[in-house]
Amino acid sequence: MDKLALFINAAMLAMFVENAIFSRALGTSVAFYASRKKESIVGLGLGITYVIVVSSFITYWIDGWLAEFKYYYVIMPLIYTVIISIVYTGSLLLIWRFLPKVFKSIKKYVHLSVFNAAVLGALFLNTVYHEDLFSYIGFGVGISAGFFIAVFFLHIANERLNSPLIPAAFRGMPIMMVFVGIMSLAFYALTGYNTGAAA
């Protein structure tokens, strides 16, 4: 029961307090890209979730072995990249072998859901905040779900934000950034952010 609580706590923390987009800006450009089409949201969301969860599981053991090494923080990106690359290659080979049609349709964009700041950032945050396996995996699931929620919000807003009512220079990325900023403020309010104005 305690383990389940750890898992849920870490997942909730990742989803709302450490939201990949609204609180950490991890994978923002990928989120903007994915928000254009409903199909890309599901595809990228699933891809990112899979890579983060599997990689989190592996990094938990690696962190345990190498945490004492003085220069671990310097070689950590290299080790994490190797882990992500192994997960990516292994999964691709399996898809290529057993689901060739799926492989054909995803091979052009699959790297977007693997080599992005959301995946690598989730692994770093996991190392910073957590110590047990269930928190690691819970955080991985939560950060992917948070990313999915954020992209879904962006998708809903996408059409309105590209309307002619928006000045031409602000249409597209600039107004999207402002929108993400306002959403980020809402998420901060949810967690009790204090600007210090009342003090």
Partner 1 sequence: MAQAKQMKPTREKRTEFKFTRDLFDGIAKQNVVLMTGIVNAPVVIAATTFKKGVVIALAFAIISFLTILTCSFIPKKIVYTLRVIIYALVGSVYYIPTVLLLEEIFPLTVELIGIYMPLIITNALIFSKTESRFYLESRGRMVIDVLFFVIGFGAVCVVTGGFREIICFGTFAGFKILDISISAFESPFGGFILVGIMAGMFRALYNFMRNRRIKQNAEAQNIAAAGSVKAEGEDTHSPLPEHIG
143 near partner 1 (CB under 8 A): no
188 near partner 1 (CB under 8 A): yes
CB nearer to partner 1: pick between 1 and 78: 78
Interface with partner 1 (CB under 8 A), residue from 14, 15, 24, 35: 24
CB nearer to partner 1: pick between 3 and 89: 89
Interface with partner 1 (CB under 8 A), residue from 46, 99, 181, 190: 181
Interface with partner 1 (CB under 8 A), residue from 46, 89, 90, 99: 89
CB nearer to partner 1: pick between 110 and 141: 110
What separation in angstroms does the CA of 21 have from each of 9, 57, 117, 164? 19, 22, 10, 26
Instruction: Give the pair of three-digit tokens for residue 128.
Output: 């910073």
**Which ranges in the chain belong to alpha helices (H)?**
2-12, 28-34, 38-66, 72-98, 100-106, 117-129, 133-161, 173-190
111 near partner 1 (CB under 8 A): yes
75 near partner 1 (CB under 8 A): yes
137 near partner 1 (CB under 8 A): no
Cα 125 vs. chain centroid, distance in angstroms?
11
38 near partner 1 (CB under 8 A): no
Interface with partner 1 (CB under 8 A), residue from 6, 11, 13, 32: 32
Q: Which residue matches tokens 């929108």? A: 179
Interface with partner 1 (CB under 8 A), residue from 169, 192, 198, 199: 169
What separation in angstroms does the CA of 45 have from each of 40, 97, 102, 131? 8, 23, 16, 26
Instruction: Give the pair of three-digit tokens for residue 1.
Output: 């029961």
